Chain A
Amino acid sequence: MNSTPRLLNRVLIGILGLQLLAVGILLMLLATVPAVGIWWKAWSGGVWDAANRLFEGTRFPGRPESWLWIVLALVLILLIGLMVAWVAQQGKGRSDLLLAAEDPGGVPGDVRIGGGVAEQALKNALAERPDLAGASVTTYEVRGQPALKIRLHPRPGVAPHLLAADASALAAALDQVVGQRTPVLVHIASGARSRFSRAERVR
């Protein structure tokens, strides 16, 4: 439900994976096949010579260092910045607004309902249930629209379709209160919390 950039994740992970694969296979071949060693020495030697010539040609006037080192440092800083930006994109999309509408009445202004309203209401409605080990409600913004995600942690053995029906009734009640049909996703999840909680005895 969040806005994690999935395609970008796949592409970037794939690129990194391919590069590591190539390096790893090359290293293994170098260790085992002598012919590859000969080829490697010729090829990488050529590349190294070209790089050396490039560094020779880009020296600061009157100093032994090349300004390419500074360019290299800047490129690396840029790369680090991009990586940080990429990580920051993961799991984004939480919002705290359930409804923002223009008030059609005579009073000037508009109406905003915070996501906390739905979160608190649903959490309270679910808190007392004996068949749940825990529940959490979060508001997300999916393509500019508010949506609710309800995560339920049932105790062992609880039938999920009955839970889903109850959650559906709760969502309908919420629609009545808010006056707007909010998209709701219910995730009935397993996890340490439901696995190690004791089973519900009476139902």
Chain B
Amino acid sequence: MSSVIEQQHPAGEEPGNAAEPAQAESFDMRRVLDRETHSSRAAAAGIAAVVVILFSLYGLLESAVRAIGQPPWLIDPQTAAERIVALPNGIPPLLLGVTGAVVTAVGLFFFLSAILPGRRARHLLEEPRIAVVVDDEVIASALARRARLVANVMPEQVMVVVSQRHAVVNVRPTSGVPVSENAIREAVEDELRAMAPIPMPAVRVNLATSGVIGA
């Protein structure tokens, strides 16, 4: 009887709090962020699987046809193997070379997507409660807006490219209206400081030497 009350009491006092910190600490957000900033190669995996499945289906068809003693659909496996053994002959060298080049290119695509790090164009933002990833394009768009307001130009006259460690701001000033490169740089750096993306990109401002007329 008393044990029942004891069980209920401490649990009833703090219904959620006891579970909260444990939940938050055991969750590996660093791993999630690492996965979020790298490609999963799901698309390449899908293509690879489809390629293998198509080849297998064809092989299956021909070997099944062969096993039950029917005439082949496209090519008898025996003839195919004999042709492969005789290879440099029986096919124009140009066609053979081009086929080889295409197969090599496809193989290179798969191989490189397997071994390259596969970084995505994303930055992290520091936020106490939540984990935040931002596409570089969003950062570029925010910087472009700030630069445009400072330079007093149209949106089409500003182009910002954000990469892992660089933010390049290209501005084409309006003809006859002076634009201060330093003001733009300061504004963009100020915006970046407020944003604090990880890793922090270095700002470079390019003012075009020729202006735009009538903007």
Closest partner residue, chain A, to B18 (CB atom): A104
Do A188 and B138 contact each other (CB < 8 Å), given the known contacts A1-B32, A14-B114, A48-B81? yes
Cβ-based interface call for B202 (8 A) = no
Given the interface pairs A1-B36, A76-B60, the reply to whether A180 lies near B86 with Cβ below 8 Å is no
Hey, which chain B residues are within 8 Å of A11, CB to CB? Answer: 114
Given contact pairs A83-B56, A91-B42, A37 touches B87 in the complex (Cβ within 8 A): yes
Is B44 part of the contact surface with A, judged by Cβ < 8 Å?
yes
Contact flags A59-93 to B (C-beta < 8 A → 1, else 0)? 00001110101101100110110011011001100
Given contacts A80-B53, A181-B24, contact A12 B11 (CB under 8 A): no
Interface size class of A (residues with CB under 8 A): 35 or more
Name B residues whose Cβ lies closer than 8 Å to a Cβ of A: 8, 11-12, 15-16, 19-21, 23-24, 26-29, 32-33, 35-36, 38, 40-42, 44-46, 48-53, 56-57, 59-60, 63-64, 66-69, 81-82, 84-88, 93-94, 96-97, 99-115, 125, 127-135, 137-139, 141-142, 144-145, 155, 191, 194-196
A125 at the interface (CB under 8 A from B): no
> What are 23 A-B interface contacts by the 8 Å CB criterion?
A2-B40, A4-B40, A6-B41, A9-B45, A13-B45, A14-B110, A16-B51, A27-B99, A44-B84, A48-B85, A67-B67, A87-B45, A90-B42, A104-B12, A160-B134, A160-B139, A164-B134, A171-B129, A181-B20, A181-B23, A186-B127, A187-B135, A188-B134
Contacts of A1 in B (CB 8 A): 32, 35-36
| Option from B49, B87, B129, B134 in Cβ contact (under 8 Å) with A172 | B129
Having A13-B110, A20-B103, one finds 20 other A-B pairs with CB under 8 Å, namely A1-B36, A9-B40, A19-B107, A21-B107, A23-B103, A24-B104, A27-B97, A27-B100, A28-B97, A32-B97, A65-B68, A87-B45, A104-B12, A145-B27, A159-B142, A161-B195, A167-B130, A181-B20, A185-B131, A185-B132
